[in-house]
Structure 1
Amino acid sequence: MLATFIIGLREGLEAALIVGIIAAFLRNNSKSLFAMWVGVVLALVLSVIVGIALEMTECALPQASQEGMESVIGAVAVFFVTGMIMWMNTHAHNMKKELETDAAEAISQSSAWALASMAFLAVLKEGFETSVFLLATFSVAQSAMWAAVGAVIGLIVAVIIGCGIYFGGIRINLSRFFRFTGLFLILVAGGLIITSLQTAHEAGWLNIGQQRIADLSWLVPPGTIRSALITGVLGIPPDPNQIQTVAWLLYIGIVSVMVYWPAHRRPAPVKAARLSLAFAGVMALAALALFLFYPPFTLQLPGNAPLVSSAEQTPAGQVQLLVTAGNGYRLSVQSAAGKITQITLPADAAIPGERAGLPTREWNIKKSVTPAQAPDVVTLDQVVALYGNRIPIGLNPAMHPGPYQAQWTVHCSVQASAAGDALLDASGHAEEVITLSGSGLQSSRTVTVRTPTDEVSACNWQVSSAWQQRVSDALQQHEIYQDNYRFWAYMLPALLAALALIFAVSALRVLLKFRNERSSVIREYDLSFGSQSHTHLPKNKG
């Protein structure tokens, strides 16, 4: 409630001051206030619509997207409040003069719409900032109802103070007021940074620096006034992690120095602008360097994977993934006896997939072969032995005593997956069948061979469990590295680039203003010097 009260009071007072100063100036110049009030009402209505639209949009999103939107709103709110604090810290004592100058220009245009636009844009800025900042604060408040009550009370008090200033009954040191409330809002904005980082983690955007560095449960026990003040108002959690703490300290330290550094120790505006421009260039170069040169993750796995038999889990050789022409691959399977089998993995047969955020290719290759030196005729005893010492279903020894004509087929299925040129997993499974005919059989009988032959054993293999664990560890390292890569190569450069743009635009505005003022002074001097020279020219006596 306290945070939203201060927000409502401060933002509302800014808007009330703007409206009050413009209204007083118009009243002193005997001008109608109708156009101004049109702009004010439109700005207030649009601000409310923006706040409602943001809230409805957030509620309509899935949970993860809601967390992401809260992060974005929090970041925008921090940007707004920081800019507002710094601007008011610099312009509070000149705000009345600047607004009166703008109003005079609008009046000189003899356009009611120019005056309405001025009031509209001024109040819209405050209203939009208030909507975003209050929405971000509501998301972390322990009670949304009390947060809303605080905001409403703050706005009412602001309107009362604004009316008092307009009618002349209240005098307030604006510079001191905004500096005092600015310190409180810096702490609130620091808490919003912590909350935005937390929701970014819950949305899956930020996963680095999540190690807890302190236990503040003794300082903020739940249900106490301290908890309401420290956690509810300032946003400091009982278990801050590394990235939250670093971001909070950096923000509080940098903004406090920029706002409250003694004026007599600050460099001149032009020198400060040039320093800001140089600092913006350094940040832009750092962002570009991180984006271009931060190394991506490379999956490091040995070239050969050990194999075990699918049945006995005994060593069965090794397998190697080889790259072939046409963006294809080949498995080179070497048995324990040294026999090498080449299995082609065509590029067009690959199924795209993903493991631990890493794009993969998967194959399921099936082939059927006829075993070498397989007998064309088998006896009943041989069939029973091949079937696991059991008589196959559908084969009657009395009616079909054998021997039988035999057609042998081995169906071999190989599954493999790879990430880039690294083999992640591979296995082979074989099934051998005999198609029997003759000996009184009216139709063929297919019998599965349950006693493995050499051909079947050669296709029944898989990578060892130790290799699978090694792959799992490597993929886990990839996930961790990807989180770091996303932060250092994308998120941090984007933040540095945004800050560089802000510093550059701010510095260029100051330098451009100084240049225009200097040009204006030189022109005035030239005009004055030219007029004096013309006055003192000697008269033509000819």
Structure 2
Amino acid sequence: MLGIALLVFREVLEAALIVSIVAAATRGVPRRGRYIGGGIALGAAGATLVAACAGAIEQAVGGAGQELFNAGVLLAAVLMIGWHVVWMSSHGRELAREMQSVGHAVKAGSSSLAMLLAVVALAVLREGSEVVLFLYGMAAGGAGTGDLVAGVPLGVVGGAAVGYALYFGLLRIPLRHFFSATNGMLVLLAAGLASTATRFLMQADWLPALGTQLWNSSAVLSNGSVLGQALHILVGYDARPSGIQLVFYLSTVLLLVTGMRLAPRFAAQRPHPPPDAASRQAS
């Protein structure tokens, strides 16, 4: 039972951390609960479908289908997170002013939420499909019904609890620093997902390793530990990274930071409607 609970906990933790960061980053945006809840529901439905088609996915593309599927999901999430942080760089101050003066975010925030709904769905899709496949394998291997019934809820509750703790911790950040802090976390999250996607592509022989192991910090903090797993999601920690993973990680950080710095300049150059037109649009 404890083994099942631990493995489910790790998978749920990965999805819960991503959902928590997304929820915190969209603080004050109207209807964000619907978007995030919808993303979780879509991801869960997709995970069940993926599990049902696991055999076909595994055998696709010369037996590398699962690795390519995982890499595709992760890279799609990276693109959507990247779009959000660049968008927030040009609209974050406007959102903060609106939250301080009126108590809720401007309606424009919902356009970015649509992208983050997909990020939530992809996170739940990937981790949920792994949970379903893992439980199926455990049941086929002779795991008792009692172990599954007791272990799965324990793992789900534990992973969700850690996610909630992160979420409420982020909400304690002062509002004037909130969007910068959450944007920074999303940049590191995207870089970590890009690094993980690179590892899957390397396993499928689609990318060269450029050095199979640059260093090994497993003795200090292993990938399999709970803390290592959490840091892997939050900042892209890997105890044994390859060269190509480091290239993708640093490239993602560089591209997003550059985009975040350029976005406000382009936003400032765009013509703005006069105050009376803006008030009519808001109404």
TM-score (norm: length of structure 2):
0.60
After superposition, the C-alpha distances for 1:164-204 in whole angstroms (9 at most, x for unaligned) are: xxxxxxx9743411211322332222121111112223345
- Tell me the residue number matched to 1:186: 187
CA distance 1:246–1:258, change in 2 (3 Å): same
The 8 Å contact of residues 28 and 105 in structure 2, kept in 1 or not, is answered as no
CA distance 1:94–1:140, change in 2 (3 Å): farther
* CA radius of gyration, larger in: 1
Say whether residues 1:150 and 2:171 are aligned partners: no
Q: How far is 1:124 from its partner?
A: 4.5
Identity of aligned residues (%): 16
CA distance 1:179–1:232, change in 2 (3 Å): closer
Q: How far is 1:250 from its partner?
A: 1.6
CA distance in 2, matches of 1:267, 1:16: 21
- Tell me the residue number matched to 1:243: 244
Q: How far is 1:133 from its partner?
A: 3.9
The 8 Å contact of residues 81 and 116 in structure 2, kept in 1 or not, is answered as no
Say whether residues 1:215 and 2:204 are aligned partners: no
Say whether residues 1:18 and 2:29 are aligned partners: yes
CA distance in 2, matches of 1:246, 1:66: 23
1:323-342 equivalences under 5 Å are none
After superposition, the C-alpha distances for 1:99-140 in whole angstroms (9 at most, x for unaligned) are: 87759xxxxxxxxxxxxxx97x67544433322245457789
Question: What amino acid is the match of 2:117?
Answer: G
CA distance in 2, matches of 1:252, 1:122: 20
CA distance in 2, matches of 1:75, 1:87: 18
- Tell me the residue number matched to 1:479: none
Question: What amino acid is the match of 1:86?
Answer: V
1:185-334 equivalences under 5 Å are 185-204=186-205, 206-209=206-209, 211-216=211-216, 217-221=218-222, 224=225, 227-231=228-232, 233-259=234-260, 269=265, 273=266
The 8 Å contact of residues 40 and 124 in structure 2, kept in 1 or not, is answered as no
Q: Whose strand fraction is larger, Structure 1's or Structure 2's? A: 1
CA distance in 1, matches of 2:78, 2:237: 15
- Tell me the residue number matched to 2:74: 74
The 8 Å contact of residues 46 and 124 in structure 1, kept in 2 or not, is answered as no
1:362-441 equivalences under 5 Å are none
The 8 Å contact of residues 58 and 69 in structure 1, kept in 2 or not, is answered as no
- Tell me the residue number matched to 1:320: none
Say whether residues 1:48 and 2:40 are aligned partners: yes
Q: How far is 1:255 from its partner?
A: 2.4
Q: How far is 1:219 from its partner?
A: 4.2
1:441-520 equivalences under 5 Å are 513-514=270-271
The 8 Å contact of residues 80 and 119 in structure 2, kept in 1 or not, is answered as yes
The 8 Å contact of residues 9 and 151 in structure 1, kept in 2 or not, is answered as yes
Runs of 4+ in 1 over 6 A off after TM superposition: 98-101, 137-141
CA distance 1:65–1:78, change in 2 (3 Å): same
CA distance 1:197–1:100, change in 2 (3 Å): closer
From 122, 127, 130, give the equivalent of 2:120: 130
Structure 2: any 5+ residue segments left out of the alignment? 1-9, 59-63, 132-151, 276-283
Question: What amino acid is the match of 2:196?
Answer: T
CA distance 1:16–1:58, change in 2 (3 Å): same
The 3-state SS of whatever aligns with 1:220 is coil
Q: Whose helix fraction is larger, Structure 1's or Structure 2's? A: 2
Superposed CA RMSD in Å reads 4.4
- Tell me the residue number matched to 1:527: none
